[in-house]
Chains A and B, each alone.
Chain A
Amino acid sequence: MNARTEFVAPPYVANMQRVDSYADIDEILRSEDFMQGSHRESGVFFNGSLLLIEGHEHMQRRQLFSSLVSRTAMHYYETGALVPVIDKVMQELRDEGRGKDGLVHVDLIPLIRSMLYRITALVTGVDNVDTPQKTERFRDLVDKLGVAVTVEWSTGDHEQVIRDGLEIRRQLIEEFLLPSLERRRGLVSQFKEGKMAKDALPTDLLTMLTLHGDDKRPGDEDYVWRECALFLVASTQTTTHTLPHVIVHLTDWCKSHPEDAPKRTDATFLRIAAMESLRLHQPAPTLLRIALKDVTLASGRKIAKDERVALFFVPANRETAVFGPDAAEFNPYRVAPPRLSPWGLTFGGGVHTCIGRPLVTGMFNRPDDKSGTEGTMIRILRTLYEAGAVMDPTKPPKRVAASYHDAYESFPLVLRSL
């Protein structure tokens, strides 16, 4: 299997200036002369959310959401929400997931989503995801919403994808989001009346928005659902996208470096493998930015005022001048150049750097920091490798066909030690 499929530019960006140099993209992402240009079609799901606002409003919103991404919160998402669910899911596979050969066979893509749903619900503030039926229903709706909010990269009829997405969102609101919001309105009222301490309020998106009066913006009452859509999708997207790539790369790597196979349960080794995979495979095909004035980049590239440019991270993250002569290759011993992230540009840059990055990669002050977090990807990878995960030799993975994402829709594994 080829882990390094060639990058195909989606038709959506065919008429835009293509920027694929690392330095140019880095400069654009950091520059105040550019604004968000992504999610025009999918704006109906995201307009006014943290992803698409700029300037002082953006900083204030980041401050409002700060408690959702604090170290304490990250620690709880990982140890209080992810680890117990991983344990439960693995126990269910141990008890009920064996095939005729006595081994556990499982598809990684739904498995990852089943492990991450509780984090999604916690961050957003969704209650009552507490029975197998409701859990499955919530996961299914969020999964389908994720297709709609990236409609720009869909290979299907975009108008239909949006219509379907709006219906999915309606169902999510009716069944999960509105009842959760109503409960928080009640709690916030109690707090404002002095009947409840602030510390007793939940720490989640819906509570923060209600406290701030953004649960019912005059003239834009749907804003709250658009912010929810961002957090519902963003909290799982990168891990679901990248984790299969890590397994493909490690499978190939360990064939040529069998001495490293035992390291696949070592968190430090897995961390670098995950970061390399993030560098080589981006969750979104491109990011788009709009110039606020005529700009000449340090390289001499000119971008006209109001021009929307497509930032192609795949070639940039594989630039040999930046990451060395083997930049296009996976190397779990790579040391990132000074002042560069080991994942390159994958989480974006500047003010719109992905807010969920620490959830995925972990947060630690030093490599030996015991109070830090491992990150969702390392936690799940380590669990899978401890269970003896290998790619199923009888069922090759299938790549996503409904969009231009560099992703898998099915990724069969065998857990040989479970």
Chain B
Amino acid sequence: MSSSPSTPRKAFRVVIDENMCQGIGYCERTCPSVFTVDKERLMAVVKIPIVDDPTLLEQVELAEQTCPTRAIALIPVDES
């Protein structure tokens, strides 16, 4: 897929779908440098909105795929 985050040095905007997120926190536990959970709102919060470091992107991608409600989207910066 052209939008694969594994493409080297490509930048991705990390977005939380607030209609889907339930604040479960798997994202924070998988990639704490990018995600945290607002316990009051029961909602994930993105600490680094644009990620282009390949190692960090791998973790963000794992968080995106591990999220039980699939509330995380990685949007190529040139498309967002």
Query: A residues near B, CB below 8 A?
Result: 30, 59, 62-63, 66-67, 69-72, 75, 336, 338-341, 349-353, 355, 357-358, 363, 365, 371
Contacts and interface: CB of A to CB of B under 8 A. Distances in A.
Contacts of B61: 70
A63 B62 contact: yes
B68 A352 contact: yes
Given A339-B18, A350-B22, A351-B24, A30 B42 contact: yes
A224 to B, nearest CB: 21
Interface string B34-61: 0000000010000000000000000001
Contact of A62 (B4, B26, B42): B26
B30 A338 contact: no
B68 A351 contact: yes
Contacts of B73: 365
A350 B62 contact: no
B65 interface: yes
Contacts of B62: 63, 66
Nearest to B67: A62
A287 to B, nearest CB: 14
B29 A353 contact: no
Given A30-B42, A72-B4, A365-B75, A62 B66 contact: yes
B15 A30 contact: no
B19 A340 contact: yes
Contacts of A340: 19
Interface of B: 1-4, 15, 18-20, 22-24, 26, 29-30, 42, 61-62, 65-66, 68-70, 73, 75
Contacts of A70: 61, 65
Contact of A338 (B1, B19, B75): B19
B26 A351 contact: yes
Q: Quick one: which of A62, A75, A338, A349 has the most chain B CB within 10 A?
A: A62
B43 to A, nearest CB: 9
Interface residue SS majority, chain B:
loop
Contacts of A339: 18-19
A410 B1 CA distance: 37
Contacts of B23: 30
B19 A336 contact: yes
Contacts of A336: 19
12 contacts: A59-B29, A62-B68, A63-B62, A66-B66, A67-B65, A71-B1, A72-B1, A350-B24, A351-B68, A353-B68, A358-B70, A365-B75
A69 B18 CA distance: 21
Contacts of B70: 69, 357-358, 363
Nearest to B2: A371
Nearest first, the 3 closest Cβ-Cβ pairs linking A and B are: A66-B65, A353-B68, A365-B73
A96 B29 CA distance: 54
A336 B20 CA distance: 12
Q: Quick one: which of B2, B42, B62, B66 has the most chain A CB within 10 A?
A: B66
Nearest to A349: B22
Given A63-B62, A72-B1, A365-B73, A350 B19 contact: no
Nearest to B61: A70
B71 to A, nearest CB: 10
Q: Quick one: which of A69, A336, A363 has the most chain B CB within 10 A?
A: A69
A71 B66 contact: no
B68 A365 contact: no
A67 B69 CA distance: 16
